[in-house]
Structure 1
Amino acid sequence: MVWFMEGMCFLPTFLVIWSSSTFIISYIIALVRRDVDIILPYISDTGATPPESCVFSFMSTITAFAAFATMYAEYKFVERVHEKTGAVSPCLNKVSFGFGIISCVGMCLVATFQETVVMAVHDIGAIIFFTCGVTYVVIQSVISYRGQPYGCSKWMCYFRMFFAAVAVIAVIPTIFCAVPVGTSKLHWKTDDKDYALHMASVACEWITTFSFVLFFLTYIREFQEFTLKLTVNIIEYS
């Protein structure tokens, strides 16, 4: 059997590859068309103008659903770990999954409402995505630590904590540097007002986003160890 078909491994594998492709492909298209600057545009800037906006919306929506499926599989795995060991709080697991669902909704809002068309909804979606996404990876790092020696290895647990810490550190300037500047401007010059704040926000946005991608990358080995089964119960009416 091919390694990415073992257990549920295909879920995080697809998520990592597809999400990375989403950001890179839309960036390349926008760059070729000169719709964005070559140096660190906002990720949303690369999906603000047709035709890249169509590609970005389509691929980001699939990314959100793939993230939801991966989070759900992890939720069920942790639930089973608790049943066997009692090491992980069911409440903590549910809270983590709840934040994960909300972050996926935020991503859908970002994908659907372009910043140059409906900026208010787009920005709200981005804030929801980043804040809830960061909360999810932090809680999952705690769950991974408490769930040892079941689930991921000790070193993989450390990697998750590292990526979670990077996301926490990077998301703060991502949001707070963007607030006084705004996100609707696609082209910037070095002598523009607030250029430094803009660049700090953009750089941290890319760091936060790919810390999420790398965090889900750590799921791959763990997902090889379990499968999910769908049970159909037919209700008989008298």
Structure 2
Amino acid sequence: MNNLVLASSSTEAEALEAAKTRLAEAGGTLGTLALNLLSAVAGQPGGELAGADQTKLVDFAEQELLPVAAAFAAALAGSANSAEKVLAAVAAGHSARLVDATKSLEVEEAPVKVLYAGARLQEAAAAFLDHATELIVPALAQNPALKLTGILPQRTVDAAAAAPAKGGCACGGHDEPGLSELDTRVIPHAIRHATIFGALEGLSAGKGILLVANHNPLPLLAQLEQRSAGKFTVSYVEDGPETWKLSMVRN
């Protein structure tokens, strides 16, 4: 959605955009890590590789998703507004489901159960990220009595540094050997770059994505160089005029 949100102040407006960017990045990383787990379990049922990817997804949930969900729930808990009370209940529900799904994935050992638990966590996280972006964050930014600024916990995990052994994204398709396709044309423009950066952060060394776009993504590449100079090798697989495809591999 691209609905205009009028924040209660310029500071809250900045916090709104920062929060939406962080949620989009989390969604991108979640997709990569979830696909990593699926690939690992399918390729080596019950092996060490699957266990490593299972741990990475659990760590990402515990160190990023759960603290953010808890922060939103706490921020809305004291509101006297009836609509925000409903949102507080929604946020608390998301937080509880994420905790439960994360714990379930952490303790599973059988490959089939690991797959089920991973899918359950991904579903719970996707629902939370969607509601947080479209409902919770705007509500916090719009109400002067509530504060979005400063409520998000500081990141304690670097998904790129802690990346699992497999690489990929959650968008399906394989045009290049070893590269999962990320079609940017289906990602809303407002969160496109953040989602891509999040997906890239979930990659381990030597793994990558095949980025598909309907234009030459030069602004994206400039931003990537700014924030992650030298961390990725980028090469054009298809250079227009209607479709651009870029191999983006983590060094």
Give the structure-1-normalised TM-score: 0.39
Which structure: greater strand fraction? 2
Give the structure-2-normalised TM-score: 0.38
